[in-house]
Structure 1
Amino acid sequence: MALSKHQIDRKFPCTIKDLRSTIHLDHTPSTSLSQALFGLLNHRRQSNIKRLSAAVTSAGASVFAKTQALDNIKSRIRVTLGKPKRSGDFDWPVEEFLNTVEANDRGANVAPLIGYGYKKSRLGLVEEFFIITHMLEGHTDGLQWLERNPTQIERLIKKSFALLRSLNESHITHMDFWAANLMLCESGDLPAKGIDLENCFHRKPHYPSETLGFQFGFFYHREIYRFVTEAQYDEWVEEALGQYENVNLENFKRFYQASKHTKIGRKERRRIFLEGVLDLS
């Protein structure tokens, strides 16, 4: 169930505005940080790019902002009215925001969310949506870390699988779980953190074994295959499965094997979670 506007307003009570842009935050920012945030949004528009993700630093405060333009009238109307698509899903930027709110509320290992915002057109329709999280200082994404430390592939795998299990136990099912969508601490032995939660569900999967098989297979398919043999990866997956209960191994293996070697689009991934179907046509 989506959060109500009242619930969202309580989480992000501070509102700042600049012309037709509005940002809602969980705290009052400094004037310089506010200016820096609006400056980033203006940069995206002037650069004429659809999506932009970047760190914003001002007066010693660092946050991470991700902004995306809504590219058609239907999505603008839906987001303005707070309505989902016919499928029941919200548009991708709103999905990411709602999933990140839920993940934070459940104490999941993800980047802490501090706000969101939007820009409206002259007609009053939302034409751009953005979310703002704490900057994960001292962290780097798993793929960059692995490129620099290819011999430490097992360490990355262990931390990644631990994060995947932690998210699944919180009923945050990440359907775009790959090395670049997790952040590793450069020093110390802290748990990894998940990012980019747009293609996620914040409820139990309808088909848990099929979904889990996809998640493990997809993780291998997205770049990990370059750093480890398939046989070794299979061994690590088998070891990780020992921490899960009631896995239907036949269904798991069918989706796992297919997902290791096949490009699966975002919509097809959602069908795995909702219908237990892998459409490779």
Structure 2
Amino acid sequence: MTDDLSAVPVSGPHPGSDELGELASSRQRTVDDHMFTVPGLPGTCRLQLFTADGCRPVAVATQIAGDEGLGLTNGVEQFAGAVWERHCPDQKVPPVWVQRQLAPEGSPREARFQRVAFAGADGYRPTGPRWRGITDEQLRVLVGGEVDPGRGVGYVPRPAVPEPRLVFREFAVVRLGRPHPFRERGCMPKGVPWWRRWLRQALPRRDVRSCCWYHGGDWHAVNALALEVLRRARAQGVVADDMEDFAAAQAAEAGASMWQTEALSTLFDPTVAIQPDSEGGYINGQHRAQAMLEAGVRRTVVLEHVYDA
């Protein structure tokens, strides 16, 4: 089976104006669904379906690019297949498919109609899509009347994704995921097994080594100061974006060393703070976590993204 009967070969040139002329007829718009959806797909589009007795239906799909989940181009087989199965299941071939992706507001890109021809189909799923531009006049001739080029007044934008709040909080070091730092074996061996981290909790270390910055100071002292900084910040209502400066002031007041001040800053800098991910790994901070686990530090400060209900 081919998309346009004998007019569209499985391979070869894309159907042109002659093929569109053969499909042209006077049709009526019988469907105008401003929020057409495909079960299981995160996307919507406006569907205008033009039909007439004895003529192949023409489906015109319109979508705002980037604003509606799965795009028409990436999901063309699913969208076209759903229209075919839902609105014209008795047809042996899918409807003539025309799509238009509108540019987001403020974009200089011009939206154009595109005719999509399919090379075949598997059940109600068209396959082998090929795209070619179609002018507004060609589309009017194809359907035998005007086609609304807009998204439609019934379009309901997707709810805006809420921005998370950044929250620093106290966290048990022993609960941090297993790090996988890329360092020399004698300096930063890959990961810290569970038995070793619990041993270090019972027998903590405070030695300072010269192998790297991460082992260059006392993480016990830094984290004791970090927990005090966190307590004071909460009492004073300091927001996450101001925590790094607040921590620096507290370090100066406490007479912290240069290394301790820098280490404390990394714990409260939102761009590099320790951030465990949802799968037991790290967004940031695995090298510091490695050094803390080896030292037997018990409590530290991590950064979380909190979504309010």
Q: Same fold (TM over 0.5)?
A: no
For the pair shown, the structure with the greater C-alpha radius of gyration is: 2
TM-score normalised by length of structure 2: 0.20
TM-score normalised by length of structure 1: 0.21
Structure number with the bigger relative contact order (C-alpha 8 A, sep ≥ 6) is 2
More helix by share: 1
